[in-house]
Structure 1
């Protein structure tokens, strides 16, 4: 889903028509239409205004849900791999790993 598509969906989900949104954002309806059609670049300040008006996070406007889910899935897969590797270690190795993790955490 493109930025414009996510923006349009957020507007529709918030129950605001394009004309009202444009008025509240102090931009012309054709400008908003062009942004939603990915025909005009959007400014960072405008993204903040969109997020506030539509009551959504900036992140939800900027990133595709499928991409977010893919990242989360990859993170979970990695965690499961680490857990599996940890469980296969003998007790001494597990203690070494835990000690090393504590040292790294103290450094942060």
Structure 2
């Protein structure tokens, strides 16, 4: 059985923080899910020391109506290249509930 790390030693963020790092295919699957739900993908980033804040920096505008997983992946990669030491997360905005349907860190800084 795996050992459980103390919360102070192991900061956790967002939906999948307690799972192992997602593979490229798993990230692609999650983006497909966001798009299938009709949610609008958006990319945000922040320096690791500010990851616990409520507000992160938005990378461009949300991708309203985007249907291509590859376009979303390209924006995630572009943000990571621009801010290599930042955490980069994907958000799925739900128009119906006017809230976030999901949010998870794709790249850790």
What TM-score results when the alignment is normalised by the length of structure 2? 0.25
Q: Which has the higher helix share?
A: 1
Q: Which has the higher strand share?
A: 2
**Which of structures 1 and 2 has the larger relative contact order (alpha carbons within 8 angstroms, sep 6+)?**
2
Larger CA Rg, structure 1 vs 2: 1
What TM-score results when the alignment is normalised by the length of structure 1? 0.25
